[in-house]
A and B are shown apart, each in its own frame.
Chain A
Amino acid sequence: GEDVEQSLFLSVREGDSSVINCTYTDSSSTYLYWYKQEPGAGLQLLTYIFSNMDMKQDQRLTVLLNKKDKHLSLRIADTQTGDSAIYFCAETPRGSGYALNFGKGTSLLVTP
């Protein structure tokens, strides 16, 4: 399938905000998702946004959606060392049942 694009690495200092960006491919995706993966583990859903929304906030997480540009971002406020992980953006493209199409993931490193 077509690629969901993400930058591969991001490094921030503890206490700063992190912004992870994603460009998705299918304008018909109903939901868009952010998943987190810790080393050697499976993926856990962090948050999702319905396609008719522009923004969703959940505690330290803010998701922004720009449907015109097919751009999704995840902002983590007051980033902590425990936030160091790989973050995946995902969409639901047509023709794959309910399977999600994932980006390559952004490795977030939080330094003290």
Chain B
Amino acid sequence: DGGITQSPKYLFRKEGQNVTLSCEQNLNHDAMYWYRQDPGQGLRLIYYSQIVNDFQKGDIAEGYSVSREKKESFPLTVTSAQKNPTAFYLCASSMKGGTGELFFGEGSRLTVL
């Protein structure tokens, strides 16, 4: 079945460590996105990519990095520079044109101890 797979579902890390969250899609979508969700804050855009080897910062990119070496994959690294990394991270993808619908993965919950 086509969809978006995020891993791991839960991740615990010590302060000061970089962590990488995986996002893979087999929907043949060109665009991929990372959002961060905090209670009462809704979804905030971290990074997005409209094409392989290109990506743009969203509203809260500081302390995060991404790569887009393959169409199917858009990993997010939460670096030690991110001051408050504990959150629920959502990856999404979309096709060009159409209704603009985003398809979401099931999310990754990162807890920094």
Contact partner, B99, options A31, A96, A102, Cβ 8 Å = A31
B: number of interface residues (CB 8 Å): 29
With a cutoff of 8 Å between Cβ atoms, the chain B residues found around residue A44 in the complex are 104
With a cutoff of 8 Å between Cβ atoms, the chain B residues found around residue A33 in the complex are 100-101
B102 with A48: CB separation less than 8 A: no
With a cutoff of 8 Å between Cβ atoms, the chain A residues found around residue B101 in the complex are 33, 45, 48
With a cutoff of 8 Å between Cβ atoms, the chain B residues found around residue A105 in the complex are 42
Report the separation of the CA atoms of residues A90 and B33 in the bound assembly, to the nearest whole angstrom.
15
A42 with B100: CB separation less than 8 A: no
Report the separation of the CA atoms of residues A6 and B2 in the bound assembly, to the nearest whole angstrom.
32
Interface centre among A42, A45, A88, A90 (most CB of B within 10 A): A42
Type the 1/0 row for A37-52, where 1 means its CB is closer than 8 Å to any CB of B.
0001111110010000
B42 with A88: CB separation less than 8 A: yes
With a cutoff of 8 Å between Cβ atoms, the chain B residues found around residue A99 in the complex are 33, 45, 48, 58, 102
A39: min CB distance to chain B, Å: 11
Type the 1/0 row for B94-108, where 1 means its CB is closer than 8 Å to any CB of A.
101001111111110
A: number of interface residues (CB 8 Å): 25
| Contacts A102-B43, A104-B42 given; does A97 touch B106 at CB 8 Å | no
Report the separation of the CA atoms of residues A97 and B40 in the bound assembly, to the nearest whole angstrom.
25
A42 with B50: CB separation less than 8 A: no
A97 with B100: CB separation less than 8 A: no
With a cutoff of 8 Å between Cβ atoms, the chain A residues found around residue B110 in the complex are none
With a cutoff of 8 Å between Cβ atoms, the chain A residues found around residue B40 in the complex are 8, 104
Residues of B participating in the A interface, judged by any CB pair closer than 8 Å: 4, 6, 31, 33, 35, 40-43, 45, 48, 50, 56, 58-59, 90, 92, 94, 96, 99-107, 109
Q: What are 26 A-B contacts with C-beta separation under 8 Å?
A: A31-B99, A41-B107, A42-B105, A42-B107, A44-B104, A45-B101, A45-B102, A45-B103, A88-B43, A92-B100, A96-B45, A96-B48, A97-B31, A98-B31, A98-B94, A98-B100, A99-B45, A99-B102, A100-B100, A100-B102, A102-B35, A102-B42, A102-B43, A103-B42, A104-B42, A105-B42
